[in-house]
Amino acid sequence: VSDTVVEPYNAVLSFHQLVENSDECFLLDNEALYDICFRTLKLTTPTYGDLNHLVSAAMSGVTCCLRFPGQLNCDLRKIAVNLVPFPRLHFFMTGFAPLTSRGSQQYRALTVPELTQQMFDAKNMMCAADPRHGRYLTAAALFRGRMSTKEVDEQMLNVQNKNSSYFVEWIPNNIKASVCDIPPKGLKMAVAFAGNSTAIQEMFKRVAEYFTAMFRRKAFLHWYTGEGMDEMEFTEAESNMNDLVSEYQQYQDATAEEEGEFDEEEGEYDQ
């Protein structure tokens, strides 16, 4: 879903820079935001204002610890340190809870288990990739409101134990939790979510397909070359994106045993 025809070019070219030069990226896309507006919030005619409201809720949740006091604070650096296991894999799926339609708001209990369940739900993800199609390398849950840290820790452990197949086993305790005392306006408690999941490759694959379809025919290319760009830059950006998809797939398939065998071999080699 885009209002720009050359979006695949712009996305792949900018992504090429983000892989090399940024520390962490929170991914959001219009398609997933529209889905949330239609299916979860039951809006019949969502506007850009509604989409922006969702984005601001998620991103202010991610940065709330920079602005408010809390029992367990967490700044952007701490998120990056806990969420980025390998330098190139720093693209996070973003989510927010609670998301409920106006009509059913009064019937939903706001509790830590309820927020946790909603936060990991694929319908709450703000980028069009299904986390059930991949595995979480790491995740961060940034809670807001008055709550017990013991309950938060128990819920995080509970999620990992019940859904262990969706988390890589070679990073134990891979959910980072933080608790900020001040909830968002109009809510008793809320949670923002950032997940480093291998499922994000779905989104990259989709953009790469659109890019390849246009680039193969050299459609719209003259606008870019006319501004001094080179075709080689496009080819490089495309191969960088394909490389990243392969890297995510490699870590999705990796097991703890494989890594162990590799270490043993390395040890023998060193001797």
Write down all domains in the chain, each with its CATH number in brackets: 25-198 (3.30.1330.20)
What is the C-alpha to C-alpha distance for residues 70 and 64, in angstroms, rounded to an integer?
9
What pLDDT is stored for residue 58 in this prediction? 94
Quick one: CA torsion of 239, 245, 249, 251, rounded to 10 degrees?
90
The DSSP H or E segment spanning 142 is strand 136-145
Identify which of 177, 88, 179 has the alpha carbon closest to the alpha carbon of residue 139.
177
pLDDT band at 46 (very low <50, low <70, confident <90, very high): very high
Quick one: CA torsion of 22, 26, 32, 36, rounded to 10 degrees?
-160
pLDDT band at 3 (very low <50, low <70, confident <90, very high): confident
Write the DSSP assignment of 196-256 as a string of letters.
EEGGGHHHHHHHHHHHHHHHHTTTTHHHHHTTT--HHHHHHHHHHHHHHHHHHHHHHH--H
* pLDDT 10s digits, 57-93: 999 999 999 999 989 889 999 999 999 999 999 999 9
What pLDDT is stored for residue 256 in this prediction? 74
> 51: helix, coil or strand?
helix
Average pLDDT (189-207) is: 95
What pLDDT is stored for residue 8 in this prediction? 93
Average pLDDT (214-236) is: 94
Q: Name the percent of the chain lying above pLDDT 90.
A: 79
The β-bridge partners of 97 are 191
Average pLDDT (191-204) is: 95
Q: Indicate whether 157 pLDDT > 90.
A: yes
Least confident segment among 97-111, 123-137, 163-177: 97-111
Token digits for 263?
Answer: 């270490």
* Phi, psi of 143, deg, nearest 5: -80, 150
What is the C-alpha to C-alpha distance for residues 36 and 38, in angstroms, rounded to an integer?
6
Average pLDDT (139-168) is: 94
Least confident segment among 25-34, 63-72, 144-153, 260-269: 260-269
Q: Indicate whether 263 pLDDT > 60.
A: no
Q: Indicate whether 227 pLDDT > 90.
A: yes
pLDDT band at 269 (very low <50, low <70, confident <90, very high): very low
Least confident segment among 2-11, 18-27, 100-109: 100-109
pLDDT band at 94 (very low <50, low <70, confident <90, very high): very high
What pLDDT is stored for residue 101 in this prediction? 75
What pLDDT is stored for residue 100 in this prediction? 80
What pLDDT is stored for residue 264 in this prediction? 46
What is the C-alpha to C-alpha distance for residues 48 and 56, in angstroms, rounded to an integer?
12
What pLDDT is stored for residue 96 in this prediction? 94
Omega of the bond leading into 113 within 30 degrees of 0 (cis): no
Token digits for 22?
Answer: 């940024």
What is the C-alpha to C-alpha distance for residues 263 and 5, in angstroms, rounded to an integer?
48
Q: Indicate whether 15 pLDDT > 60.
A: yes
pLDDT band at 1 (very low <50, low <70, confident <90, very high): low
Average pLDDT (30-41) is: 92
Note if the pTM is more than 0.75: yes
Q: Indicate whether 259 pLDDT > 60.
A: no
